[in-house]
Structures are given as structure tokens and as C-alpha cells.
Amino acid sequence: MPFWELQRQLGIDVDRWLLRQSMAQPYGKAAACHAFEREWVECGHGLGQTRARRECQPEYEDFMECMHRTKLALRLKTILEQRDKMIREGKYTPPDYHKGKEESRP
């Protein structure tokens, strides 16, 4: 077959653009979200696009959370809002080092 290993013969790597985390990384270490991307790709491999969207939704959500940290940011925002509410109500007083004041030194 003349098309076997066509990428290698031409000296190109098309997969590099398809899989963002799987391409060669500096210092030879895997990217932070590589495992989540691999799970998502393995889940959807061999399925049609419509079926893969439905069946691999948890893997895709995990991968997107690792990449963008949207759920983490929302959780942090909620925690900070609750802290500010408690400060306004007088139920919580932040320590001095959270107010920008230095600790007293002996």
C-alpha cells in the first residue's frame, strides 16, 4: 500500500494539531490534562460523532474542566461571596495578615 506511514514519509505530523495535549511536550513530561484528553479520545474512538457526544459527555466535561477550571473558579467565587457576607454580618473577622498588615515580630 503506497499510503502506509504517509505522515512519516512526508515528514509531517497531522495528529499534533488534532490532539492538543498529546503532542511532544518540553522536557518530555506529559501535559497536565493529558490523561483526561486520552480518556475522552479513547471513549469516542470508533463511535459516531452523535453517539460519542452522548456517551462520552462525562469524559469531555472532565477534560474541559482540567483545561479551563470553570467549576473551580465558580466554587472559589461562591466561597469568597460567603466570606464577605459573614464579614458584613460580623460573624467572621479575617486575620491581620489577610488585611495586608504584617505580623508582629519578636
What pLDDT, on a 0 to 100 scale, did the predictor assign at position 1? 43
In a domain? residue 12: no
Q: Are residues 25 and 53 in the same domain?
A: yes
What pLDDT, on a 0 to 100 scale, did the predictor assign at position 76? 96
Q: What is the pLDDT of residues 22-51, one digit of tens each?
A: 566 666 677 788 889 889 889 988 888 889
What pLDDT, on a 0 to 100 scale, did the predictor assign at position 47? 87
- Written as nine digits, the cell of 101 is 498588615
In a domain? residue 13: no
User: Domain count of the chain?
Assistant: 2
CB-count burial class (<10 Å; 0-12, 13-18, 19+) for 36: buried
Domain that holds residue 83: 71-101
Q: Are residues 79 and 44 in the same domain?
A: no
Q: Are residues 76 and 62 in the same domain?
A: no
Q: Are residues 82 and 62 in the same domain?
A: no
Q: Are residues 58 and 86 in the same domain?
A: no
Global pTM value: 0.62
In a domain? residue 7: no
